[in-house]
Amino acid sequence: MALKKTYLQQARHRWLSVKAGPYLAFFWQNPIGKWGVLLLITFGLMALASFFPPLIDPMYHPMTGVDPNISNVTPPAWNHWLGTDYMGRDLFSQLLTGARVAFMVGVSAAFMSIVFGTLVGMTAGYSGKLIDTLLMRAADMIMLLPTLLVVLLLSSFIGQLSIWTIVMLIAVFRWPGVARVIRSQTLSIKEKPFIDAARVAGASHFRILFRHILPNVLPMALLFMTFRVTSAIILEAVLAFLGFGDPGTVSWGMMLQWVWKTGNMFQAPYWLFPPGICISLITLSFYMIGRAMEEILDPRLRKEKIED
Amino acid sequence: MTMKYFFLKRIVEIIVIFFVIMTLFFLLFHFAPGDPVSRMVDPSMTHEDAAYMISQLGLDQPLFTRYGIYIKNFFQGNFGNSFHYGEPVIQIIGDRLPNTILLFTTSIVLSAFAGIFLGRITAWHKGKLIDTLGTILALVCHTLFLPWAALLIIWVFGYQIGWFPLGGILSPELWIQPETGYVAKALDVLYHMVLPLFTLCIIHFGSYMLIMRSSMLEVIGEDYILTARAKGLSNRQICNRHVAPNASLPVVTSVGLSLAFSVNGGALTEIIFSWPGIGRELIFAVTNNDYPLALASFLFISIVVLVSNFIVDIVYTYLDPRIQY
């Protein structure tokens, strides 16, 4: 009885009850993790700041606000910090709004694909046999497809994509990588004694999956979420860049599309540079955070030990 | 299991996957909201032409017959006519496919070699300045946003410095002249290919280099490297003969895994540099609602991905003699 209890306790809150302090400290000591977080905070502040410009003056609204005195591309000035686009809209407030859209798309698409991938991966790893083979074959096939081109082809059937359709499509095509990793983790966790203990204690498959396996694969799922966020942001930006974005929102990809399509690319570097730099840096920050998390999760990558 | 059996199995697998993709898109074509006839038959056609087209594509038949006709048409190279160009789709594809394959294969091979080369140097000088700089460079290149990098490269090399053309695959004024030789033509294409190739390599070499670097570091810790050192081999010999060949295997694997990703990048590069390839055609077709062309280009792009995946497998077995099937 005593044995069973310890195993179950171990299983239940193994991850959730771990003291996060040493891990956070380790994360912060890693320059990659630190700079990644700092960059991300900057973008978070940008996203928050995006609510203010339209309140100051309606002409700073990223989509509908047009400076009454300006009807063309203008370089940076005191009242337009980054200049204006071809309609006289403020580029700086568009850039701020872009941060908000990137976060929204990136986090929601990544979250959905992680949830889906984790469920599929756990089911495949836990049930084994035919279900495993079928699910993993499907995952392999989706991984072989060029996501961007599939989404483009689908968009020709769906028509104009809204931002949430884009999020859904990204989630649908980005789960296989997660599912593979979670499956292999599940396969090794399945053999641990505490799972046997739970089974002997009469836990149902559902309970074993969600109370005993899920907490143990969660860290890996979180790690993958940082990578998925970047791929979602990039995919949305690329779709917007090609002109398949949501016409109701401004994103960085759309700003790039405007500067490219209106032929202002060579004359207006102040318009060409900021959105591209922002997309690249936000990708970099999530990538760095992911790498730092990977070092915590994979002891082989660590240089020093965490004391806990 | 012999090697022959393994390759046979892979070929069967590829064919099955391709059929699944084809079937999925067939179903999508016929069950997505809207009328399948209007997707395959050009709205600007005369009534008789449209009727002929419908009967040829089997659009008046029940679903299963239609599927059979779809498969048969695929093997006969009959994809209908492009709405936008008014030409048979297969002709357009045949025209564009070589350009795509040229750019795609060169960029993958070049970026893999660049990644292996730089990863080798940085790992061998771990902790020194060159390692730090190289790793930062790889990280930055890896996270660059491809369309923006392409626009930037055009802006710098095509516009500010003006060394290279802004886009296209050839200079028409040169090709029109009958006396231009093959060498001059090939050089012209090469000249136009520099910038797109540069963009693709910059984007792709980063991840290969990071993989090469970490796998080099892993191999350096192996016992047989210590043996090599004890035998008195020079640093250079150890690096080139013992570490690098073993360490480059994960790079080959990752090339295979990232093929689909490279195709996305290839399509974007094609459209930005006006490179007349199949990816650009697909994006145009989607923009113009040119369904027959879009579907056919997509199927051919999947064939390119599947075949190159197979080639990567072959290269891998060739590089790693330890593999036993």
Going by C-alpha positions, the residue among B59, B2, B69, B12 that lies closest to residue B36 is B59
Which 242-301 residues of chain A touch chain B by CB within 8 A? Answer: 242-244, 253, 256, 260, 265-266, 269, 272, 275-276, 279-281, 283-284, 287-288
Min CA distance, A290 vs chain B (Å)? 13
**Distance set, CA B87 to CA A3, B78, B83, B116, B172 (Å):** 75, 12, 8, 44, 22
Of B20, B283, B286, the CB nearest to A141: B20
pLDDT in tens, chain B (325 residues): 577 888 888 899 889 989 998 888 888 877 777 676 777 776 777 777 777 777 777 777 777 888 888 888 888 888 777 878 878 888 889 989 999 999 999 999 999 999 999 999 998 888 889 988 998 899 889 889 999 999 999 989 888 888 888 888 877 777 777 777 788 888 888 889 999 999 999 999 888 999 999 899 888 888 888 898 898 888 888 888 888 888 888 898 888 888 888 899 999 999 999 999 899 999 998 888 888 888 889 999 999 999 998 888 888 888 877 766 5
Q: What single DSSP character describes residue A58?
A: G
* Token pair 């908000």 in the structure block, residue: A100
Min CA distance, A273 vs chain B (Å)? 8
* Token pair 């980005």 in the structure block, residue: A174
Evaluate whether A287 touches A36 at the Cβ level (below 8 Å).
Answer: yes
- Total residue length of chain B: 325
List phi, psi (to 5°) of B81.
Answer: -105, 145
Task: Express each pLDDT in A159-203 by its tens digit.
Answer: 778 888 889 988 888 888 889 889 988 988 888 888 888 888 888
Of B145, B152, B302, the CB nearest to A237: B145
Residue of A nearest to B310 (CA): A144
Q: What single DSSP character describes residue A212?
A: I
C-alpha span between A154 and B185 (Å, rounded)? 38
What is the crossing angle of helices B89-124 and B182-220, to 10°?
40
Q: Do B159 and A141 touch (CB under 8 A)?
A: no
* Token pair 């994103």 in the structure block, residue: A251
Average pLDDT (A8-14) is 51
Which two structure tokens, joined as six digits, stand for B191? 């000249």
Q: Which helix (H) or strand (E) holds A50?
A: none
Chain A to chain B Cβ contacts (< 8 Å) = 114
Which 249-268 residues of chain B touch chain A by CB within 8 A? Answer: 257, 259-261, 263-264, 267-268
Question: Does B19 lie at the interface with A, CB-CB under 8 angstroms?
Answer: no
* Token pair 């200049």 in the structure block, residue: A83
Residue of A nearest to B166 (CA): A266
The amino acid sitting at B239 is C
Task: Express each pLDDT in B52-94 by its tens digit.
Answer: 777 777 777 777 888 888 888 888 888 777 878 878 888 889 9
- Total residue length of chain A: 308
C-alpha span between B30 and B63 (Å, rounded)? 9
Q: Do A153 and B295 touch (CB under 8 A)?
A: yes
Cα torsion B81, B85, B91, B96: sign: negative
C-alpha span between A255 and B133 (Å, rounded)? 31
Question: Does A241 lie at the interface with B, CB-CB under 8 angstroms?
Answer: yes
* Token pair 């006396």 in the structure block, residue: B179
Chain A residues touching residue B145 (CB < 8 angstroms): 234, 237, 276, 279-280, 283
Radius of gyration, alpha carbons of chain A: 23
Mutate to test the interface with B, among A153, A169, A251 (most CBs of B within 10 A): A153
C-alpha span between B142 and B258 (Å, rounded)? 13
Side-chain-facing half-sphere of A254: CA atoms under 13 Å: 21
Which two structure tokens, joined as six digits, stand for B293? 């062309």
C-alpha span between B112 and B94 (Å, rounded)? 28
Torsion angle defined by CA atoms of residues A153, A158, A163 and A166, in that order, rounded to the nearest 10 degrees? -40
**What is the band of A305 on the pLDDT scale with cuts at 50, 70, 90?**
very low
C-alpha span between B23 and B29 (Å, rounded)? 10
Which 144-203 residues of chain A touch chain B by CB within 8 A? Answer: 144-150, 152-158
Above 70 in pLDDT, residue A300? no
Model pLDDT, residue A308: 39
Q: Do A154 and B279 touch (CB under 8 A)?
A: no
Model pLDDT, residue B128: 86
Mutate to test the interface with B, among A32, A145, A172, A254 (most CBs of B within 10 A): A145
**What is the band of A296 on the pLDDT scale with cuts at 50, 70, 90?**
confident
Q: Do B34 and A157 touch (CB under 8 A)?
A: yes
Q: What single DSSP character describes residue B62?
A: -
Evaluate whether A263 touches A283 at the Cβ level (below 8 Å).
Answer: no
The amino acid sitting at A300 is R
3-class secondary structure per residue, B193-240: HHHHHHHHHHHHHHHHHHHHHHHHHHHHCCHHHHHHHHCCCCHHHHHH
C-alpha span between B120 and B252 (Å, rounded)? 14
Above 60 in pLDDT, residue A255? yes
**Distance set, CA B40 to CA A81, B45, B290 (Å):** 50, 11, 9
Model pLDDT, residue A70: 77
The amino acid sitting at B162 is G
Model pLDDT, residue A299: 64
Going by C-alpha positions, the residue among A225, A306, A292, A252 that lies closest to residue A35 is A292
**Distance set, CA B149 to CA A245, A283, B57, B89, B209 (Å):** 20, 14, 42, 32, 19
Residue A301 CB coordination number (10 Å): 12
Question: Does B201 lie at the interface with A, CB-CB under 8 angstroms?
Answer: no
Residues 6+ apart with CB under 8 A from B19: none
Strand partners, B88: B81
Chain A residues touching residue B260 (CB < 8 angstroms): 143-147
Q: Helix and strand tally (H, E) in chain B?
A: 16, 0
Evaluate whether A105 touches A236 at the Cβ level (below 8 Å).
Answer: yes
C-alpha span between A180 and A117 (Å, rounded)? 8
* Alpha helices (H) along B223-320: 223-230, 235-237, 244-247, 249-257, 259-272, 278-287, 291-319
